[in-house]
Amino acid sequence: MSKFLDTLKELQVSPNLLHRVIVSEEANARQGTQSAKTRSEVRGGGKKPYRQKKTGNARQGTIRAPHYAHGGMALAVKPRGYAKKVNRKERRLALLGALADKATSGSLIVVDKIVFSAPKTKDAVSFLEKNGVADVKRVLIVVAEHDEATVKSFRNLPNVEIRTAPRRDGKGEAFSTRDLLVAHKVVISKDALANVEAAYSGSEAKSEAATEPKKPAARKTAVKAKKEVEA
């Protein structure tokens, strides 16, 4: 485990990459459902308010024009998608870079476990005081897997956010790069750190590749046999 942290501390990530990943995370969180009515969508205003000439007023065609009270909106916003794509390898590198920054600056605290038998805010406060982060403005708690009692213990604390470690099966609400960067202190359990190492270090992928049997080169064998027959 310490070897993984030592490797993380040596990781260097471009600030530009971190910025792009943060922007994409915030943009992808937007619903994009805002909608306003244009002058053609507002109810009423079908009749010309007064004659075109000889009134001394500027000519008007409808009372639902944008400059009228209760009129339509000029350049009205409509539902749209704000999603921004970032490559998966870049997202992973940015997350590991943010975690490395916390480890290097001493803002990462590794504990044995974060589990509560019952949902009690008092127990959560005692846990924070024990680890010296009770007075920190923004604390990120990272657990290995979702636990209802643990989540309920922390959710009444305004300075605490609780997330799960990234998992290959996609279960739980995993922490993001933004969660790491905005937190002043990060408290993570050893099991959660092991999940991060397994998901992002590539150890599982390497082990799967090593255990997978190699397929025989059937085409090369057939070509070689054909050449021998022709000879």
Query: 127: helix, coil or strand?
Result: helix
Mind listing the pLDDT tens digit of every residue in the chain (231 residues)?
568 888 888 888 899 999 999 999 999 999 999 999 999 999 999 999 999 999 999 999 999 999 999 999 999 999 999 999 999 999 999 999 999 999 999 999 999 999 998 999 999 999 999 999 999 999 999 999 888 999 999 999 999 999 998 876 666 678 999 999 999 999 999 999 988 888 876 543 343 334 344 555 556 566 566 666 665
d(CA 63, CA 47): 8
Question: Closest Cα partner for 9 from 141, 99, 89?
Answer: 99
Question: Closest Cα partner for 187 from 137, 119, 113?
Answer: 113
Structural domains of the chain, ranges and CATH numbers in brackets = 2-13+86-205 (3.40.1370.10)
Residue 45, sorted as left (phi over 0), alpha (psi -120 to 50) or beta, turns out to be left
d(CA 162, CA 152): 10
**Both structure tokens of 122:** 């008092």
pTM, two decimal places: 0.74
Q: Are strands 185-189 and 160-164 parallel, antiparallel or unpaired?
A: unpaired
